[in-house]
Structure 1
Amino acid sequence: MAGNSRGLYLLMLIGALAFVVAGVFIVRQEPGGNALVGWSSILFFGGCALVFVRQLLDSRPRIVLDQRGVFDRTLGIGVIPWRDIIGAELKSMQRNHFICLELRNPEHWTGKLSPTQRKLVALNQRMGYSALNVNLSGVAADPHQVLEFIVKMAALHARD
């Protein structure tokens, strides 16, 4: 199981709050054209701060790797059984790690996604990622160990 990295979300919360404070300062000091910049900063980074607080307070594991398969709460498709995973690959972009899952029947799983998520899947695939990817950003787990475990369990259940 892998939960959220509290340190990362705390750091992002502090950064978001700093931009909210900067926005308040701009609105109070520049009541003209720059007020739009200030209000935009307050609204956007205030929303980000709320998300980061929620992540800090959420103690549920975001990713669960157990005897049943792979569960990533952010995907919203349930547990992907080991027998449906035929391979995996670690990819990284700007220090954000992803486990790209190679699935027996990816259409079955992408069919469970919302239309917006399916558009993101198509974009991910154009960038060289698989249809479904386990996002390890903000997760307190070693990406190489997660990959090793997924590959090992998928191979073990390939015979099922």
Structure 2
Amino acid sequence: MIEIKLYKRPLKALKIFALTTPFVATGIWMINKEPVGTTNYIMGWFSTCFFGLGIPVGLFQLLDRRPQVIINENGIWDRTTKQDVIKWEQIESAYPLDIYKQKFVCLVLDETFEMKKNLYKWAAKLNEGIGAQKVNLMVSQLKIDEHKMTKFINEIVKTEKQNRQTIIKKYFDH
């Protein structure tokens, strides 16, 4: 059985480092330059501590080698959705969604799919308001285009189980 594993882009971690490092450096400079107790000294500590949190977050993003999405002939699993494997038979269709440059693939699921954990009412209303579904795959941090992923999902859900490996090979050739 073919199994495709999609991982996070390391570029996101590098962006976090690039955005936080100047603020941490400026904060350290302010701590060393300003007299103790002044507003600039306190702001230096605040800047260093607050933006310094980006360093462990960036390291985690960079060193996290767990697959984000696993695709096989039985279904698709996304670590961020906190759901079990979503079987291809349960997916009716998929469509892309862009929310402030964050790319998602929204899955329209049939009634046989049971949510492992239901959304809060406010989250369900928010999803409805922005045009999302109960289950949405975040693909902006993956090494795949959201339109390619949408086309793949819409094609594989219409394919018989014995032909799914061919579709997977077509879109994810090794």
Q: Give the TM-score band, short-chain normalised.
A: 0.7 to 0.9
Question: Is 1:20 the equivalent of 2:24?
Answer: yes
Deviations 1:58-108 (CA, angstroms, capped at 9, x unpaired): 112111222121211112212111111111110113332110111113982
Q: 1:25: how far off? A: 2.8
Superposed, 1:18-97 pairs within 5 Å as: 18-30=22-34, 31-97=37-103
* Equivalent residues of 1:102, 1:130 under 8 A apart: yes
Question: Is 1:102 the equivalent of 2:108?
Answer: yes
Q: TM-score, normalised by structure 1?
A: 0.80
Which residue of 130, 135, 143 corresponds with 1:132? 135
Match of 1:88, SS state, is strand
Paired position in structure 1 for 2:168: none
The CA RMSD measured in Å over matched residues stands at 2.7
Q: For residues 35 and 60 of structure 1, do their structure 2 counterparts lie closer, same or farther at Cα, with a shift above 3 Å needed? A: same
Between 124-133 and 141-150, the greater mean CA deviation after superposition: 124-133
Structure 1 runs not aligned, ≥5 long: none
Between 91-100 and 119-128, the greater mean CA deviation after superposition: 119-128
Between 121-130 and 136-145, the greater mean CA deviation after superposition: 121-130
Paired position in structure 1 for 2:117: 112
* Equivalent residues of 1:83, 1:157 under 8 A apart: no
Between 77-86 and 38-47, the greater mean CA deviation after superposition: 38-47
Number of corresponding residues: 155
Q: For residues 149 and 27 of structure 1, do their structure 2 counterparts lie closer, same or farther at Cα, with a shift above 3 Å needed? A: same
Which structure has the larger Rg? 2
Q: TM-score, normalised by structure 2?
A: 0.74
Letter in 2 for 1:45: F
Q: 1:43: how far off? A: 3.1
What is the rounded CA distance, in whole Å, between the counterparts of 2:124 and 2:51 in structure 1?
Answer: 26
What is the rounded CA distance, in whole Å, between the counterparts of 2:46 and 2:107 in structure 1?
Answer: 38
Match of 1:108, SS state, is coil
